[in-house]
Amino acid sequence: MPSLSLLRPGMLRECWQFRDFIFASVKREFVSRYLGTQLGFFWTVAQPLALVLIYTVVFAQIMRPVLPGYTSPFAYSIYLCSGILVWQLFSDLLNRSVGVFVHNGNLLKKANLPKLALPVIVTLSALTNFIVITVLFVAFLVATGEFPGTVILALVPVVIVIVALAVGMGVLLGTINVFYRDVEQSTSMLLQFWFWLTPIVYPGRSMPSAFATVLQWNPLWPIVDFTHAVFLDRAALPWSTLAYPALLAVVFLTFGLYAFRKLSGEIVDEL
């Protein structure tokens, strides 16, 4: 990939040399969420499980919304939960990547830590949370007889595209945020609008055609569509569906790594 050529030859090697610190940081962050609680790691399971149950009870049993073309009483819950699943991975990665250099300024000043290690830590932490929630969601699907089968493996490229897109945007905006601190606040606000411009709560095909044509430029639209097809139709959409967000991911990774490499030497001075 062209973006990889923008990495200084020693960058990846430096990150590998700090792999113990990276994995320890991911573990520490995971543990710190539940440190001091009476139930400890039970909350790792309880919180995402409560989310799935709330959506199932509220939307499937109380509101009873109709999802055109599907007869399962859990169809809308699966539609909603699967969309939120991939959205949370994207938004968590992007939100945290934008502020990663500013929030770890003291660490960068005091330790001989490669700056690229910080986005790596954020990525691994977000993926850890994503895996936990996904396992619980799959358990819910198995319990309700709605598990899609081996087609679920088609989500692996989806996750890769999401991570690449979020990290590319995050590193680019995170580098700029060091010099213009309003970027982080603006990104949080943008994500609030972005969520409602993505077919997560509402079916995309229910939108007026003219409006839907414009919204389909949203790179999360085909990603969420692909995810919905896997969980609801139990079939993968054509791989070309992911071409547009994958192309944008490469573009943002390229610009993000370029900005990071050009301004890397000035980041610590600005913190």
Cα 42 from Cα 35, distance rounded (Å): 11
For 236-266, write each residue's pLDDT tens digit.
999 999 999 999 999 999 999 888 888 877 8
pLDDT of 2 higher than 50: no
Distance (Å) of CA 239 to CA 152, 214, 253, 264 = 14, 21, 21, 36
Q: What is the mean pLDDT of residues 67-85?
A: 83
For 165-185, write each residue's pLDDT tens digit.
999 999 999 999 999 889 999
Largest CA distance in the chain: 59
Most confident of 77-81, 106-110, 111-115, 156-160: 156-160
Residues of the chain above pLDDT 90, percent:
39
* Residue 233 burial (CB count, 10 A): 13
Domains of the chain by residue range: 2-270
Predicted local confidence at residue 265, as pLDDT? 76
Predicted local confidence at residue 168, as pLDDT? 94
